[in-house]
Chain A
Amino acid sequence: MATSQGIEQVVALLQAQRDRVFRSWVQAVAVNTRGRRTAAETEQELRPMLDALLTGLSAGAVDANNPAFDELRAILAEYSRARARQGFTPAETSVAVFALRDAVLTALHDSNPAAFADFPAFSKLVDNLGLITFEAFVQARETVIANQTEQLLELSTPVVKLWEGIVAVPLVGTLDSARTQVVMETLLQTLVSTGSAHAIIDITGVPAVDTQVAQHLLKTVVAARLMGAECVISGIRPQIAQTIVGLGIEFGDIATKSNLADALRLTLQRAGLEVRKIARTS
Chain B
Amino acid sequence: MPSAVTQSNPTESPAQQMDIVSDADVVRVRQAVRTLALKAALSIVDQTKIVTAASELARNTLIHGGGGSAQLELVHERERAGVRATFIDSGPGIADIERAMAGGNSTAGGLGLGLSGSRRLVDSFDLKTAAGGTRVTVIKWKR
| A contacts, CB < 8 Å to B | 174, 176-178, 207-212, 214-215, 238-240, 242-243, 246-249
Contacts and interface: CB of A to CB of B under 8 A. Distances in A.
Contacts of B120: 246-248
Chain A binding site: helix, strand, loop or mixed by DSSP?
Answer: helix
B90 to A, nearest CB: 23
20 contacts: A174-B30, A176-B26, A177-B23, A207-B51, A208-B30, A208-B51, A208-B52, A211-B114, A212-B55, A214-B111, A215-B111, A239-B45, A239-B47, A239-B49, A240-B48, A242-B48, A247-B120, A248-B103, A248-B116, A248-B120
Interface residues of B, number: 26
A211 B56 contact: yes
B117 interface: yes
Chain B CB count within 10 A is highest, among A209, A215, A243, for A243
A194 B55 CA distance: 36
A249 B30 contact: no
Contacts of A177: 23
A209 B110 CA distance: 14
Interface of B: 23, 26-27, 30, 34, 44-45, 47-49, 51-52, 55-56, 59, 103-104, 110-111, 113-114, 116-118, 120-121
Contact of A248 (B27, B47, B49, B117): B117
B117 A208 contact: no
Contact of A210 (B45, B56, B103, B116): B56
A207 B50 CA distance: 12
B62 to A, nearest CB: 11
Nearest to B114: A211
Chain A CB count within 10 A is highest, among B27, B47, B114, B121, for B121
Given A246-B120, A248-B116, A248-B120, A210 B55 contact: yes
The 3 tightest CB contacts between A and B, nearest first, are: A247-B117, A239-B48, A210-B55
A174 B31 CA distance: 10
A215 B55 CA distance: 14
Contacts of A247: 52, 56, 113, 117-118, 120-121
A248 B113 contact: yes
B117 A212 contact: no
B118 A208 contact: no
A184 B44 CA distance: 29
Given A176-B23, A177-B23, A211 B48 contact: no
A267 B47 CA distance: 32
B111 A239 contact: no
Given A248-B120, A249-B111, A210 B44 contact: no
A237 to B, nearest CB: 8
